[in-house]
Chains A and B, each alone.
Chain A
């Protein structure tokens, strides 16, 4: 910072430093190459200006060794940058197992977050420092994009599916949260702040938010209210798949295929149950499309996931 003019964004997550290392290395390389090429052109332009006395003998219009050299060199450098960028990128796919999962819902034109304990926030997100946070993103209407520059993370929220983004905040502070994907009239107003706080302060903050029902409890209520438990419950007369431990489990389908029961599968099974039918069951389940909005979908998914968490040794969100 100088004279209050920002040149670099704050580095406030566990990955920000390593992304910036690649950024600055690439910046140094491109600046060097760009300045070298520009200087070369200026040098030639001055030296070989018409009428100058520079020696012009031995000119060539091609040089195979030179052309092969710069082609191979460009390829090698490109592959190094590619590999470096891809290796950092793939960490997005592997969030730590012990993570706090917060539901994020984008809608025109606000971000709504729900903590595991049921605490709700609009355009504000409080997270503990030093702990992995997974934001599972959904959208009520159009495509939005969750973007926290200080964390170097960005992920689109796409209607009809659940996407994930994770980060570990490393510095306490208040950081800008944006919607990065153009989403209509008030796109530029859709954002606010992420507040990273020490874990104990976060716990205290959670406690002050007035205990609502947890997301899982809301989901369980909905599971009853929508009549899901009528068939999927233990005392049901209709034969429907038992959902205990369903999340993350392989499911055999009646078309001989097997799918993993992830967010996508569960969402599709609720909204479009005829699409993938579990082997051995009659396709009698009605569609809940139009009856369940995205916020309710997040509750249901949280509840279904909790049916797995109880079975395994995986601890609850806050340990």
Chain B
């Protein structure tokens, strides 16, 4: 165990003070700026969800008024999607790890990276202002003509916030694409890249190609509200459905922006704690690209009962089944990775296994929604809410937690308390299922989403869900405290506590400002856990070092 004091040669020791952080162009420090801002947004959006679940414990609207409830779910969606999930892994772990994983000193455009955080913060100011002034009640989907002609909240302000944040997404995307193309270490060929880098690449492509469409549709909303240009207003010859096409043309690919990085994280964690190479590496790498491409062709499956042509519906359903295949391939490969391994169950591994279970069931629920006749019944019900929370929370947030614990020693130079980590992971898993599984039943029963009040016969399932939300909240609050504690009191972490193979583990924990003392050379494939000396070494599970 490395017990020497944090040397000033680490990126953390170089210049304290606010200016040294706020004007940094070190990708590792920018990652922290993002991590702190995103954590704040995660708990803000989470608090709104808890309030909603408390309201929904009874059928009547007795805790908050309908207008307040509508603002809660709208802002919960807006904050969680654009101010947490979209940037979550790319802007924090991706920012920190991408250069380290490919043996580079920084991203290709370090100043653009810092600028992206400032643009993000500018967008958050708009969003927070819209909350403070009285909120917005359009849902995160901004459907017209509700958002353009009828909503009485601060729609333009919120839309401008999301619009602005989009530019920070695009900046990150461009930076990642260029970095991966140009800054790989000698010998690091495309098919030697860790899957995390592949998923960052696929994510960045979608970010750059899809986000401008979101920007265009939000600007049209603002123009329509301010000047009545009429593009979505049937009275002026416009078409409200056009907005849905534009919105989902971005927002469906965006769900892949949100899940692909999570797939990247578990593709790192599962091999490491199984001491096995990732099964079917190439298929996993290429399926990420397939998801990124097919993801652009399925937006119409959000509109099966919208009045869109039934034949378009059939085509979109077909393509939606096609996009399920690469995800299925990944699940099979992850499962087979465990085979013949030497498996240990540290916190990152627990989270990764929980991801695998929740993503599998969430993905299978997607088959119901892609099947046209069933979607007619469960569209816009709690079934949809449950499905995307299984993918976005059970999948993405769980993977985020796995990654945060996995790379915490690298980022901070400190170990987190293992026992607390395992407890939190388990509490989260149980709380999550208790919250969202009942929502599948509610959806099948016909409970529509975005309802402030509901018929009494649904109450049993709502109570389960609300109880689960409290457990889930505890599961997410625990890491806030023990990770915060470990920042100052955690045991010192060695350079490679997990005996992992990635380049990021070959430099000190925390890394020096320039990342590597000597330029690394790569001569082996990723996940080379069968490497001599690693394979037959007796492995003792990691002990608490607190």
Where the two chains meet, the residues of A that have a C-beta atom closer than 8 Å to any C-beta of B are: 4-9, 15, 18-19, 22-23, 26, 30, 33-34, 37-38, 40-41, 44-45, 48-51, 54, 56, 58-63, 66-67, 70-71, 74-75, 78-79, 81-82, 84-86, 88-90, 92-93, 108, 141-143, 145, 147, 149-150, 152-156, 158-161, 163, 176, 178-189, 271-272, 275, 289-290
Q: What bracket does the count of chain B residues touching chain A fall in? A: 35 or more
Give me 10 other A-B pairs in contact (C-beta within 8 A), A37-B332, A54-B340, A89-B372 excluded.
A19-B376, A48-B338, A49-B343, A56-B341, A70-B328, A71-B325, A89-B313, A142-B150, A143-B146, A154-B380
- In the complex, which of the residues B70, B321, B380 contacts A181, with contact meaning CB atoms closer than 8 Å? B380
In contact, B145 and A44 (Cβ under 8 angstroms): no
Choose the segment among B358-366, B392-400, B407-415, B502-510 that binds chain A (4+ C-beta atoms closer than 8 Å). Answer: B358-366
Smallest Cβ distance from A137 to chain B, in angstroms? Answer: 9
What chain A residues lie within 8 Å of B446 (beta carbons)? 9, 147, 149-150, 176, 178
In contact, A145 and B305 (Cβ under 8 angstroms): yes
Smallest Cβ distance from A51 to chain B, in angstroms? Answer: 8
- In the complex, which of the residues A33, A50, A145 contacts B539, with contact meaning CB atoms closer than 8 Å? A50
Proximity bits, B426-450, A CB within 8 Å = 1, else 0: 0000000000000001001110111
Where the two chains meet, the residues of B that have a C-beta atom closer than 8 Å to any C-beta of A are: 61, 66-67, 70, 137, 139, 143, 145-146, 149-151, 234-235, 237, 239-241, 274-283, 304-307, 310, 313-314, 317-318, 321-322, 324-325, 328-329, 331-333, 335-336, 338-345, 353, 356-357, 360-361, 364-365, 367-368, 370-377, 379-381, 441, 444-446, 448-455, 457-458, 460-461, 527, 530, 538-541
In contact, A6 and B445 (Cβ under 8 angstroms): yes
Smallest Cβ distance from A156 to chain B, in angstroms? Answer: 5
What chain B residues lie within 8 Å of A33 (beta carbons)? 364
A19 to B371, CA, bound (A): 10
- Known contacts being A86-B372, A161-B307, is A178 close to B448, with CB within 8 Å? yes
In contact, A141 and B325 (Cβ under 8 angstroms): no
What chain B residues lie within 8 Å of A26 (beta carbons)? 367-368, 371, 374
Smallest Cβ distance from A14 to chain B, in angstroms? Answer: 13
A4 to B458, CA, bound (A): 10
- Known contacts being A141-B150, A184-B151, A188-B452, is A156 close to B306, with CB within 8 Å? yes
In contact, B338 and A45 (Cβ under 8 angstroms): yes
What chain B residues lie within 8 Å of A183 (beta carbons)? 146
What chain A residues lie within 8 Å of B314 (beta carbons)? 86, 89-90
In contact, A48 and B335 (Cβ under 8 angstroms): no
Nearest 9 A-B pairs (CB), nearest first?
A160-B234, A149-B446, A85-B371, A89-B372, A88-B373, A59-B340, A188-B451, A44-B338, A30-B364
In contact, A182 and B139 (Cβ under 8 angstroms): yes
What chain A residues lie within 8 Å of B373 (beta carbons)? 15, 18-19, 22, 84-86, 88-89, 152
Smallest Cβ distance from B511 to chain A, in angstroms? Answer: 28
A147 to B67, CA, bound (A): 23
In contact, B448 and A179 (Cβ under 8 angstroms): yes
Smallest Cβ distance from B152 to chain A, in angstroms? Answer: 8
Smallest Cβ distance from B45 to chain A, in angstroms? Answer: 18
Smallest Cβ distance from A231 to chain B, in angstroms? Answer: 23
A45 to B458, CA, bound (A): 38
What chain A residues lie within 8 Å of B458 (beta carbons)? 6
Smallest Cβ distance from A96 to chain B, in angstroms? Answer: 17
A146 to B180, CA, bound (A): 49
Which residue of B has the minimal Cβ distance to A82?
B321
- In the complex, which of the residues A49, A60, A81, A85 contacts B344, with contact meaning CB atoms closer than 8 Å? A49
- Known contacts being A8-B445, A48-B338, A74-B329, is A92 close to B310, with CB within 8 Å? yes
